[in-house]
Amino acid sequence: MKVYGVSVSYYTGKLETYLRYKGIAYDMEPPYAKAKEILPHTGAIQVPMVHRDDGRWMSDSTPIIAHLETEYSDNPIMPEDPVVRFIALLIEDYADEWLWRAAMHYRWSYEHDRALLSRIIVDEAVTHLRLPRFLRLRTIARRQHTSFVLKDGVTVQTRDHVEQGYLNALANMSKMLEQHPFLLGTKPSIADFGLMGPMLRHFGQDPTPQEIMRNRGPKVYAWVARMWNAAGTGGELVEAVPDACADMLKEIAQTHLVQLACNARAYAGGKKKFDMSVQGCQYVDLPVSRYRVYCLERLREEFAGLGAQAQERVKGWLGFPEAEVIWTNEPVAQSDYDVQRQAPFNKAINVYGTGTPE
């Protein structure tokens, strides 16, 4: 398959780790020079996008991986136990959608990281822009910093909290890795692949967070390499949620689930911006994301599909008021995205935005 991706991209790294694990051959190139050609097939230009040998296109790393699991069923990465499976999918969603802000902040707020990464991105993926290189560098650095840091609520008031989110992820993963070589057992699960998004291409490669990882989370640093080198690793996934997961789940409830709930409420109210208070830190003017309304829908649907006993066990692990959005009977926003359930073969939408390009 052809992966349209970039060597320093969050979700491309997540997908590549999965393809390597499964031994699925792929070529990779950046999409931007061919954006006009690709857009009608995928609905949105983002990385990764996959063009299959049979002509089909796939978007969004979460449904791409879920779908490939049905085609490449050796060494399954979805836990069999329904409670563990739900928790693993929740960790994937937290990795995809919560740690993103911290990853973008470290990359684009720190001068050294910004200079290095704009060079890599420009020389690898933005060679087609007919501008002198110094202007391409400036354009990319400004675009990324504005769109993904300034407009995503990183301010002098929130900056420490954003960074603390990374440190908490390192501490919580380190605790889980004391018990098992992978987060949920002796082979990787969807929770590991999800966390490779932020941990491989941003926190594990960008100079500032990489140094922090080496010093404060060496177990995570080693896990990143273990994941990259995991091709075909067989083993077992746990059959019950390990105690070592407790702090990670508390963090997810108090951060990611608050954001999903506030975002969904704002979307339902027709807003384009929203505010939220996370662990006592006030974020203002965040962009409403229709895609994240869909993420919450998927989690709620997974939960609703569990048997009564499994639901009680999940509630036991997520015993925080912030987690109730997963099971509340009160109406939560409807994204009306992918209503036919064709993902990853549907027309995609970018994460920020409330429009309807489908």
Applying CB under 6 A, the residues found at the interface with ligand GSH are: 9-11, 46-48, 60-62, 96, 350-351
Which of 10, 11, 6, 4 lies closest to 206, judged by CA?
Answer: 10
Of 60 and 338, the one with the shorter C-beta distance to ligand GSH is: 60
Of 61 and 311, the one with the shorter C-beta distance to ligand GSH is: 61
Q: Could you tell me what percentage of the chain is helix, strand and coil, using 3-state DSSP and rounding each to the nearest 5?
A: 60, 10, 35
Shortest distance in whole angstroms from residue 141 CB to ligand GSH: 13
Strands (E), the chain: 2-4, 27-29, 49-51, 57-59, 273-278, 281-287
What distance in Å separates the CA atoms of residue 228 and residue 262, rounded to the nearest whole number?
35
What distance in Å separates the CA atoms of residue 14 and residue 136, rounded to the nearest whole number?
27
Which of 170, 171, 153, 173 lies closest to 161, judged by CA?
Answer: 153
Query: What separation in angstroms does the CA of 328 have from each of 91, 300, 312?
Result: 20, 9, 13
Of 137 and 314, the one with the shorter C-beta distance to ligand GSH is: 137
Shortest distance in whole angstroms from residue 22 CB to ligand GSH: 17
Shortest distance in whole angstroms from residue 4 CB to ligand GSH: 10
Contact 241, 317 (CB under 8 A): yes
Of 117 and 245, the one with the shorter C-beta distance to ligand GSH is: 117
Shortest distance in whole angstroms from residue 175 CB to ligand GSH: 26
Q: Cβ contacts of residue 55 below 8 Å, gap of 6+?
A: none
End-to-end CA gap in the chain: 24
Of 319 and 357, the one with the shorter C-beta distance to ligand GSH is: 357
Surface-to-core class of residue 210, CB atoms within 10 Å of its CB (0-12 exposed, 13-18 middle, 19+ buried):
middle
Of 193 and 223, the one with the shorter C-beta distance to ligand GSH is: 193
Shortest distance in whole angstroms from residue 351 CB to ligand GSH: 5
Shortest distance in whole angstroms from residue 55 CB to ligand GSH: 20
Shortest distance in whole angstroms from residue 62 CB to ligand GSH: 5
Of 150 and 310, the one with the shorter C-beta distance to ligand GSH is: 150
